[in-house]
Amino acid sequence: MTHQALMQGTETWLATVGDKVVSMRPQGRFKADNGVALVAAALAGIGIAALPNDLIQDHLDSGALVPVMPLHPIPEHGIYVVRPPGQHPSRKIRVLTEMLIECFGRSSEEAESDPDIWLRSS
C-alpha cells in the first residue's frame, strides 16, 4: 500500500478477495479515535481510511471521496450488546439497545425473521 492510512489505532484492515477475507497492517502517521475526524482527514487528502458507508455515503455520492478498493470490499461487522443475564434488562439497557437498533440495525420484526441479523434486541 503506497498511501498513508488514516487509522483509529494499530488496527488490522480486512478486505474480501474472492471468497476469502484477507488482513492488512496499514501504515500511517494520522490516528484519531473519532470517525468524523478520520473523514475530515480523508477529505483533506491526508490519506485513505476504512470507514463505514453510513459515515461517508454523502461524500461518496458527491465525489468528494472515492473508493480505492471497490473490488475488495470490507466484510460486514456486527454490533453486539453484552448485558447481564436475565430476561428483563434494565430500562437503561433497553433504551441503549433500541437506540443502537434505530441507528444501525433493522426492525425487531426483521430481526426475529432473520437468523443472520447482526444487531438485535434481547
Question: Residue ranges per domain, the chain?
Answer: 5-62, 78-122
Cell of 14: 480486512
Q: Which residue has the higher pLDDT, 109 or 86?
A: 86
> Is a pLDDT exceeding 70 seen at residue 6?
yes
Over range 109-116, report the average pLDDT: 43
Rg from Cα positions in the chain? 17
Contact 4, 27 (CB under 8 A): yes
Distance CA 101, CA 79 (A): 9
For 93, the enclosing helix (H) or strand (E) is helix 91-104
Picking from 7, 42, 43, 51, the residue whose alpha carbon sits closest to that of residue 27 is 7
* Residue pLDDT, tens place only, 38-84: 999 999 999 999 888 888 899 999 999 998 887 888 887 777 888 88
* Residue pLDDT, tens place only, 11-30: 888 888 988 999 988 888 89
Give residue 26's pLDDT.
87
